[in-house]
Chains A and B, each alone.
Chain A
Amino acid sequence: MDELKILLVDDEQEFVTTLAERLEIRNMNVSVAMDGETALRIVQKELPQVIVLDVLMPGLNGLDVLERIKSIDSKIQVILLSGHGSTKDGITGLKLGAFDFLIKPIDIDELIIKLNEGWKKYCESK
């Protein structure tokens, strides 16, 4: 089994870099992107297996990015992230192929469980 490569995508720089640091402390391999265009470039270059993707971002929104990621490699597992209490975006995202949906702020232990589940699903679909 390859090493799990994670990509975190969120336009809130402080949030995404701090979360990345917390995952790195737990020996995880993490890249970050602050917008959809950068995220897609990293996906092409580094091929992360699991992506945590904010829904509401300036420029390309999370759902647009999700569709493009799936067209690059449908095996990549995407966990959507939203600040809204509403599950509307989550349901739309799941229909577009997202693996799961979390509402901000997130619990790190719950996130790690989801990341491992996403990785397992990625490995099974190879």
Chain B
Amino acid sequence: MKDGKNIVKANNNQNALAFFGKITASMTHEIKNVLAIIQESSGLMEDILTMSDNTDLKNKERFIATLDRIQAQIQRGINITSNLNRFAHSPDNVQERIDINDLIQQLSILVSRFAHLKKVELITELDNSPFIIQANSVQLQMLIFNAIEIVLKHIENGTLKLISIHANEQLKLHICYDLMTDDQFNCISACEEWSLIQKRLLEIGIQLLIGSDQT
């Protein structure tokens, strides 16, 4: 009976995730449409400015420079919404084939805001070849996110690098912090939740490591 209740609860959780995912994916699609219109409108303004004679408009160069800044922010918005859209599609399948390097890259963009709030620059250095695993994408992203979050709780400033290296049938995920002190390393390593994440990642073939570099 208890097993039956657990299955119902798991299905409810999956349905709730799927609902949030569906609505978020739909909204990101709408945001992309808005960005596309802004992009074309600013592009049209630039076209008109480029066509016009220099004497037609005072401060023409300043307008063009401002439009360039708008275009750069549109690109930033597109990158964010594209990643958010892919993230929103994560609950579509309970188990799926995932390229872990691809997933880390996407997650790093979504997590960069959390790092930024700690004045930390988050960068990736990922193995060139894909590393495919069969896993639940939402749970896997949560585990890696939680690992990054634990590290961010203990640090401020500097650079946090996510490095993936294929070794035999495993993938080593190094979370490297350039300003890591012994105290910080010990606090993170001794954290109960950290050990739990390490254990769960290892079950799906990912060895999670922490340090100031990948050695």
The chain A residues found within 8 Å of chain B, CB to CB, are: 12, 14-15, 18-19, 21-22, 25, 56, 83-86, 104-106, 108
Residue of A14, A15, A85 ringed by the most chain B CB atoms within 10 A: A85
- B85:A85 contact, CB within 8 angstroms: yes
Report B-chain residues with C-beta under 8 Å of the C-beta of A14.
37, 40-41
Distance in Å from the Cβ of A50 to the closest Cβ of chain B? 18
The chain B residues found within 8 Å of chain A, CB to CB, are: 29, 32-33, 35-37, 39-41, 43-44, 47-48, 51, 74, 78, 82, 85-86, 89
**A15 vs B38: C-alpha distance when bound (angstroms):** 8
Report B-chain residues with C-beta under 8 Å of the C-beta of A12.
33, 36-37
In the A-B complex, the 10 residue pairs with the closest CB atoms:
A105-B36, A18-B40, A105-B39, A83-B32, A104-B36, A85-B82, A14-B37, A83-B29, A15-B37, A25-B47
Residue of B32, B40, B86 ringed by the most chain A CB atoms within 10 A: B40
Q: List 14 A-B contacts (CB under 8 A).
A: A15-B36, A15-B37, A18-B40, A22-B44, A25-B51, A56-B29, A83-B36, A84-B29, A85-B85, A86-B89, A104-B33, A104-B36, A105-B32, A105-B35
- A85:B86 contact, CB within 8 angstroms: yes
Report B-chain residues with C-beta under 8 Å of the C-beta of A19.
40
Known contacts A83-B32, A85-B85, A104-B32; decide if A18 and B37 are in contact (CB<8 Å).
yes
Name B106's closest neighbour in chain A (CB-CB).
Answer: A85
Name B41's closest neighbour in chain A (CB-CB).
Answer: A18
Distance in Å from the Cβ of A59 to the closest Cβ of chain B? 17
- A22:B36 contact, CB within 8 angstroms: no
- A15:B33 contact, CB within 8 angstroms: yes
Secondary structure of the B contact surface, majority rule:
helix
**A108 vs B74: C-alpha distance when bound (angstroms):** 14
Distance in Å from the Cβ of B149 to the closest Cβ of chain A? 25
New A-B contacts (14) at CB < 8 Å, excluding given A22-B47, A25-B51: A12-B33, A12-B36, A18-B37, A18-B41, A18-B44, A21-B44, A22-B43, A56-B29, A83-B33, A84-B85, A85-B86, A105-B39, A105-B40, A105-B78
Name A54's closest neighbour in chain B (CB-CB).
Answer: B33
Name A18's closest neighbour in chain B (CB-CB).
Answer: B40
Report B-chain residues with C-beta under 8 Å of the C-beta of A105.
32, 35-36, 39-40, 74, 78
